[in-house]
Amino acid sequence: MQRFANPARFMRLSAMLLPWSAIAAAVLIAIGFYGALFIAPPDYQQGEAVKIMYVHVPSAWLASLVYAVMAVASAVALIWRHPLAHIAAESAAPIGACFTFVCLATGSLWGEPMWGTWWVWDARLTSVLVLFFLYIGFIALANAFDDRTRGSRAAAILAIVGVVNLPIIKFSVDWWNTLHQKASVFRMGGPTIATSMLWPLLVIAAGFLFLFAVLLMLRMRTALLRAKLRALRFGT
Amino acid sequence: MAQFFAMGGYARFVWPAYGVAALVLVGLLAHSLIGYRRAQRALDAEERR
């Protein structure tokens, strides 16, 4: 672990992985959306409105997944005081915030035609909104102090505490009565969604995962270059 | 083709959803790339001094 967390080694490794991850992201997203828009059938109840699922659901998965990555990186940063872990957490935050925003916006655009409302304060929607505010709070806190290490540490604590929200999001549709439908892919007993709709969904999700990897590596590399620049300028 | 874009009458919900997703994710990618290039250039300039 320590070996891979060496900044110089990270720069070499990410330079190698970046182009391949970018190609994988582009190819998977292209194939996935081709399948979603031209091959997958309309839903028997929702008609073509179901096309919104192909952006909404992968964004929602990534919104939670990126948070988990951010929280683990924060824990590593606090326990082992490794600077690369803080950089990873702080680079992941804006990416997670963007996926969460896409999830909320597309969910709203799906809610209006299907439920007859853009927004309800029910458990699923509210817990995802809380997730969005956790990302924003993390970013604000990380940049709130003149002393960067104090800000990073405070933000890392917030990220770890916020982990309680992840199971609440996942199980909100089972624990409370909500307008939001229950899980139909990651559930006990396997997916209940038709294969013709499932495969584009999973391919797009895989594409988004690679997109996250690309964005994370790019932003971490940028942060490391900036740290090097600061060290050269101020000798710290 | 027109039928495809009509999305069974849901065009005004489906296309904005795809638009928001594309705008936010492509925007984030562009922002990340621009920041990276800028940091690279600044470091190159600093190292040449």
Q: What is the ipTM of this complex?
A: 0.94
Question: What are the tens digits of pLDDT across the range A4-55?
Answer: 568 889 999 999 999 999 999 999 999 999 999 999 898 988 889 999 999 9
Q: Does B20 touch chain A (CB under 8 A)?
A: yes
The arithmetic mean of pLDDT across residues A71-89, rounded, is 93
Provide the pLDDT for residue A97. 98
Provide the pLDDT for residue A5. 64
Question: What are the tens digits of pLDDT across the range A216-225?
Answer: 999 999 999 9
Residue of B32, B37, B43, B48 to mutate for A, most A C-beta atoms under 10 A:
B32
A→B contacts (Cβ < 8 Å), by residue, are 37, 42, 47-49, 51-52, 55-56, 59, 94-95, 98, 101-102, 105-106, 109-110, 112-113, 211, 214-215, 218-219, 221-222, 225-226, 228-229, 232-233
Q: Which long-range contacts (CB under 8 A, 24 or more apart) does A110-119 make?
A: A110/A49, A110/A52, A110/A53, A110/A56, A110/B13, A110/B17, A111/A179, A112/B13, A113/A49, A113/B10, A113/B13, A114/A46, A114/A49, A115/A179, A117/A179
Provide the pLDDT for residue A84. 92
**Residue A148's pLDDT band (boundaries 50, 70, 90)?**
confident
Question: What are the tens digits of pLDDT across the range A169-216?
Answer: 998 888 888 888 888 888 888 888 889 899 999 999 999 999 999 999
Write down the mean pLDDT value for chain A: 92
Weakly modelled stretches of chain B, pLDDT under 50? none
Residue of chain B whose alpha carbon sits nearest to that of A107: B17
